[in-house]
Chains A and B, each alone.
Chain A
Amino acid sequence: MDKKTKTKKRDKLGRGQNASAYTYAMLSFAGVMAFLIIWQLLLVAGIVSDRYLAKPTELVVLFVQKFSDPAPDGATLLVSIWASLRVSLTGLILAIVIGVPLGLCMGWFKALDRLVTPIFEIIRPIPPVSWIPLTILWMGIGLRAKAFIIFFSAFIPCVINSYTGVKLTNKTLINVARTSGASYVETFYKVAIPSALTMVFTGIRVAVGNAWSTLVAAEMLAASAGLGYMILMGRMFARADIIILGMLVIGAIGAFFNGILSFVENHVIKWR
């Protein structure tokens, strides 16, 4: 009893001591709040001019307002989000559907590895954004063009991680299957693929990040709608609040994607 009260008293977040989950949650919350309050105060006190930055409170108002008001960039927030999502998801899903199986097969089948890897190594170091001008030349600035650029940026980590995941399969586990009489192909899908899954998910995570950042770049260069376009318009009209709102929404959607991915990952990779 005595000991219990003692540990409770010393529960002051010192080294090696743990507070309750509630305390930690409140700490994180306090951190965010402090950040927002300082931001707000800097603007209220006039230390930072509101030409450069918008107040958090104004952003909340703008966020609500943008649901119905298309000014100044010509689209409501939902329309912009939808435009961006459509492009990025098209590119991303294509990249995953093509890239992951290709990478897995490249890792297992030597002939395919030798056939594809050299081409791949040549294309790989080219930054996805540098494909934009050529893509505009080929396909204009529509959905197809942007989806293509995003496909490119997301495709590469999907292939590389799946490939590496298969390559890193524990030899002993392969031998377990082989000595049980499994064929080469059976060993591939019974051992190599499950063993590569963790790496595949890491690849998809990188792909989502790439797709999202490339999206903004693509839309800022060539688009007529979307979140990147909204930011660009914010710059043209010197509206810091529009730019910041665009950035925050992009960040939030990115975080949302990550959350979904973690959820799926935890359900697929149950053994960790």
Chain B
Amino acid sequence: MKSETVIDNRPVKVQVSHLTKYFGSLHVLDDVSFDIKKGEFVCVVGPTGCGKTTFLNLLTKIYEPSEGELRIDGELADPKKHNLAFVFQEPSALPWLTVEDNLRFGLKIKKLPKEEIERRVDRILKLLGLEEFRKAYPGQLSTSTEQRVIIGRAFAMEPDLLLMDEPYGQMDIKLRFYLEDEVLRLWREIGTTVVFITHNIEEAVYLSEKVLILSNKPATIKEELKNNLPYPRDIASREFVEMRKHITEQIKWW
């Protein structure tokens, strides 16, 4: 496999420092700091209800942090300036737009030139094999195809930072395996920086280059774990199982 996983000299893309969030008196996040390298695939795992989604919403600036800051390329993150994309937990295709218009949605908001929009849309459609559904509405698609459209829409933004919040939470195992490979393929093809939140440890080990393990509420980073296993990963290999066990141990709060 590529040697880049061994010596990682990619520049730092996202810098999170001392991120803290209170909702009234509820302390959700406590002094979270970490870096993400350009093009890195980071998975965030943690016990249920530890504030994973809050964490992500802070990164997208849906919430403002109580303390701390998020910098992208050294600048304070701002959805208007930076290119952020989000795949939400629930299906979020815009039902009144066709598949191709869904893919165009964010690009039009960013006011990219028309040729560039078309180039990217065509590329994503081809990468995902969705050409035949180009003119279809999300309501006419199966759940998994709709989810692929949403993931495609996020990648089409070629974002500085792509945030995914348990995008496969509701799916059965077959679809999940399929879509996990799909996401890896897009990630490698487009070179996006990804933060992927999941409660599925196996998924985290399968996908990530780095795993952030969050503690119970108020969440801090319990461990930052490098994952150098070569892609494509064998979920039955000894190293894979060991890493999975290790993360499971770390997450246990009972």
Contact = CB atoms under 8 A, between A and B. Distances in A.
Interface in A165-193: 170, 172-173, 175-183, 186, 190-191
Contacts of B84: 179-181
A97 interface: no
Contacts of A191: 94
B79 A179 contact: yes
Given A181-B110, A197-B96, A176 B62 contact: no
A176 B157 CA distance: 12
A195 interface: yes
B109 A180 contact: yes
Contacts of B85: 179-180
Contacts of A195: 95-96
A248 interface: no
The SS class assigned to the A binding surface is: helix
B112 to A, nearest CB: 12
A56 interface: no
Contacts of B86: 175-176, 179
A194 interface: yes
Given A179-B84, A180-B85, A181-B79, A271 B96 contact: yes
B109 A172 contact: no
Interface residues of A, number: 22
Nearest to B108: A190
Interface string A236-272: 0000000000000000000000000000000001111
Nearest to A191: B94
Given A190-B109, A269-B96, A181 B80 contact: yes
B92 interface: yes
B92 A176 contact: yes
Contact of A180 (B62, B88, B96, B105): B105
Contacts of A170: 92
B62 A179 contact: yes
Contacts of A172: 88, 90, 92
Interface in B42-83: 60-62, 79-81, 83
A74 B242 CA distance: 95
A47 B86 CA distance: 73
A106 B83 CA distance: 31
Nearest to A193: B96
A138 B157 CA distance: 59
Contacts of A197: 96
A176 B84 CA distance: 10
Interface in A120-163: none
B95 A180 contact: no
A1 to B, nearest CB: 34
Given A186-B109, A271-B139, A272-B139, A176 B88 contact: yes
Contacts of A183: 80
B54 to A, nearest CB: 14
Contacts of B61: 179
A168 to B, nearest CB: 13
Contact of B157 (A178, A180, A190, A272): A180
A271 B95 contact: yes
B137 interface: yes
Contacts of B138: 271
B218 interface: no
A179 B137 contact: no
Contacts of B97: 271
B191 interface: no
Nearest to B94: A173
Interface of B: 60-62, 79-81, 83-86, 88, 90, 92, 94-97, 105-106, 109-110, 137-139, 157
17 contacts: A170-B92, A172-B88, A175-B60, A175-B88, A176-B88, A176-B94, A176-B105, A177-B105, A177-B109, A179-B61, A179-B79, A180-B106, A180-B110, A181-B83, A190-B109, A271-B97, A271-B137
Interface of A: 170, 172-173, 175-183, 186, 190-191, 194-195, 197, 269-272
> Which 7 residue pairs spanning A and B have beta carbons closest together?
A180-B106, A271-B137, A194-B96, A179-B86, A181-B79, A180-B109, A182-B109
Given A175-B92, A178-B79, A272-B139, 19 more contacts: A173-B92, A173-B94, A175-B60, A176-B88, A176-B106, A178-B62, A179-B60, A179-B79, A179-B85, A179-B86, A180-B79, A180-B84, A180-B106, A181-B81, A182-B109, A197-B96, A269-B96, A270-B137, A271-B95
